[in-house]
Amino acid sequence: MTMRRIGIIVALCTAAFYCLPAQGQGFYDVSRLPFTTNNHDEFAPAYYRQGLVYTSNQRRGFLVSRMTSEGENLFNIYYTAQRAPGNWRNPGVLSKSLVSNYHDGPVSFTADGSRIFFTRNIPGRRGQTSRLGIFMAEYSSGEWTDIVGFPHNSSDYNTTHPGVSEDGNTLYFASDMPGGYGGMDLYVSRFDGQNWSAPENLGPPVNTSGDEVFPYIHPGGRLYFSSDNSSSGSLDLFYSRPADGKWQSPLRLPEPLNSQADDFGFIAGKDLRTGYFSSNREGTDNIYSFLSTFPVFARCDSIRQPVLCYVFFEERATEIDTTLLYFEWDMGDGTRIRGLEADHCFSDVGSYTVRLDVVDRLTGERQYNVAFYPFRIERIRQAYIISADTIYSGRPATLDASATYLEEFEPGGYYWETGDGAQYEGEIVSHYYSEPGIYRVRLGVTGDSPLAVDQKACSFKDIIVIENHPDPD
């Protein structure tokens, strides 16, 4: 039984999140790691100490003779340390105590590196099919010891691809146990200090009629995984966010993280700007690093609206014979208001001439001017977001930065973060929200000025997304 992909199924678009248009642009530089090979597979990286642990079927040292009955190299667990960015040591087996006569890997570690969770083949008995199971070990005195099987392993189905939380008490994994929604589904089990709870299927919309595999729980709460239930028919990278006790509709990661090939085994740093994943886009499974090229905006302020409404009152106005005359305000925008006091809202920023006149009641002619005000409503210097305050899920939402006003520099680039993980570049963009909720949209603007380069401004606005109800026939 192979441990990378199990029963890949080319499925039609059956889940709503797979049917939405591609969300966001790919602001990433992707590089293949130098220790990967063209002749063997290296995949499913995991953070460990100052480097990476991964799974590979490469031959090294005493492992030369370890092969399957079909003459294939066994998968084993390897480790490589990083001396400096881009400078990796020669990989070696993580630990001889984790080498068996079966396939081993992929793996997941607790944050302190004291516990490892890994996949291993469970040999079939009396003609039974070999299955995959999850095993655990403790790090003690420089070795991995006390290897025990996950109590929910079975000889009747596969339990694989562990993704453990930082504290080691929540385990996500893939399994084809009965009662699922597709071939491989994602499950979760929780440790109460003594026992692991019965596996709980994550359910739709995470699980589909296809295969969901390689879960990874990020410290920030996002669940990353791969699924083949898309139009490409290959494994694509997705993530889901928790909200109100439910997993939200997964979003597909943009290219170049995804490709037309199989992309899986994703991990990321806490700021989500760097990380690693595996892909067979160059023939064999290899591990790639990614670096976000999306500009960083250190400070973002809520957008401010210009004050357009004012009350005008002239204290110096003298008494008039109101039977023959009346006071009239000319607001300079075509609006006229009778009375000594005028409460008025202008439609936009700009320069206005506001005057108070005395007008003849019979003829409507101005008799004389009481007050004259040159009045200006200034534009606010900011990256400005034009959008609806409330929109429907699953429908395009327009985000417009054309009203941005920045005296300090000339805008050169407009960068959007939509609050659900998608990123765009452009003055006007369109985005689909898959789930109801409140999303904080951020607009970052970059440019140059005569006095400085790399000028930046950033603003945000909260948008309410409500559930989309189909139009009645």
Q: What are the residue ranges spanned by the domains of the chain?
A: 16-292, 306-377, 380-466
Q: How confident is the model at residue 5 (pLDDT cuts 50, 70, 90)?
A: very low
Going by C-alpha positions, the residue among 214, 270, 206 that lies closest to residue 435 is 206
Task: Please tell me the predicted confidence (pLDDT) of residue 14.
Answer: 40
pLDDT tens per residue, range 439-461:
999 999 999 877 666 799 999 99
DSSP letters of 19-79? HSPP-S---EEEEE-TT--SSS-EEEEEEETTEEEEEE----GGGTT-B-TTSPBPPEEEE
What's CA 85's distance to the chain center, in Å?
25
pLDDT for position 261: 96
Length, in residues, of the chain: 473
DSSP conformation letters of 134-195:
EEEEEEETTEEEEEEE-TT--SSS-EEEEEE-TTS-EEEEEE--TT-SSSSEEEEEEB-SS-
Dist CA 132 CA 26 (whole Å): 35
Per-residue pLDDT, 128: 79
Return the structure tokens found at 19. Answer: 């049917």
The owner of tokens 């199971």 is 133
Q: Residue 44 pLDDT > 70, yes or no? A: yes
pLDDT above 70 covers a percentage of the chain that reads: 90
pTM: 0.85
Model pLDDT, residue 244 = 85
Query: What mean pLDDT, rounded, does the chain reach?
Result: 90
User: pLDDT band for position 86 (50/70/90)?
Assistant: confident
**Residue-level pLDDT at 464:** 97
- Mean pLDDT value across residues 110-119: 97
Task: With cut-offs at 50, 70 and 90, classify the pLDDT of residue 83.
Answer: confident
* Residue ranges of E strands in 191-302: 200-201, 212-217, 223-227, 236-240, 242-243, 246-247, 251-252, 263-268, 274-282, 284-292, 301-302
pLDDT of residue 11: 31
- Asked if the domains at 16-292 and 380-466 fall in one CATH topology, the answer is no
Res. 178: pLDDT tops 60: yes
Output the pLDDT for position 233: 77
User: What are the C-alpha distances in Å from 298 to residues 284, 309, 457?
Assistant: 40, 33, 9
Query: What is the pLDDT, as a whole number, of residue 7?
Result: 32
The Cα 381–Cα 376 span in angstroms is 15
- Tell which residue, 56, 2, 26, 22, has the closest CA to residue 287: 56
Determine the Cα–Cα distance for residues 16 and 394; give it in Å rounded to an integer. 9
pLDDT in tens, 255-310: 999 999 999 999 999 999 999 999 999 999 999 999 999 999 999 999 999 999 99
Greatest mean pLDDT range, 100-104, 168-172, 314-318: 168-172
pLDDT at 430 over 70: yes
The Cα 283–Cα 261 span in angstroms is: 9
Handedness of CA 36, 42, 46, 48 (dihedral sign): negative
What pLDDT is recorded for position 407? 87
Superfamily covering domain 380-466: Immunoglobulins (2.60.40.10)
- For residue 452, report the phi and psi dihedrals to the nearest 5 degrees: -155, 155
- Residue 124 pLDDT level (bands cut at 50, 70, 90): confident
DSSP class of residue 260? S
Least confident piece of the model among 42-56, 125-139, 185-199: 125-139
pLDDT of residue 63: 43
Are the C-beta atoms of residues 237 and 262 closer than 8 Å to each other? no
Q: Using DSSP bridges, classify how beta strands 455-466 and 301-302 pair: parallel, antiparallel or unpaired.
A: parallel
Burial tier of 468 (Cβ tally within 10 Å: 0-12, 13-18, 19+): middle
User: Rounded distance, CA 46 to CA 267, Å?
Assistant: 7
**Average pLDDT for 143-154:** 96
Query: Alpha-carbon distance 331 to 351, whole Å?
Result: 11
pLDDT for the residue numbered 118: 98
| pLDDT for res 471 | 61
Question: Which listed CATH number (3.40.50.300, 2.60.40.10, 2.40.70.10, 3.30.70.270) goes with 306-377?
Answer: 2.60.40.10
For residue 316, the model assigns a pLDDT of: 81
Find the angle CA(36)-CA(37)-CA(42) to the nearest 5 degrees. 55
pLDDT of residue 470 exceeding 70, the answer is no
Distance (Å, rounded) from C-alpha 431 to C-alpha 422? Answer: 8
Residue with the larger pLDDT of the pair 147 and 323 = 147
pLDDT digits (tens, 9 = 90+) for 219-268: 999 999 999 987 677 999 999 999 888 999 999 999 999 999 999 999 99
CATH superfamily of domain region 16-292: Glycosyl hydrolase domain; family 43 (2.115.10.20)
CA dist 447 → 263, 303, 329 (Å): 35, 19, 43
Is residue 363 scored above 90 in pLDDT? yes
Does 347 score more than 50 pLDDT? yes
Q: Give me the residues paired with residue 242 across strands.
A: 247
pLDDT at 13: 38
Q: In angstroms, rounded to a whole number, what is the distance separating the alpha carbons of residues 10 and 380? A: 53
Please check the confidence at residue 425 and state whether its pLDDT lies above 60.
Answer: yes
Q: With cut-offs at 50, 70 and 90, classify the pLDDT of residue 16.
A: very low
DSSP 329: E
370-393, pLDDT tens digit by residue?
999 999 999 999 999 999 999 999
Q: Is the pLDDT of residue 420 over 80?
A: yes
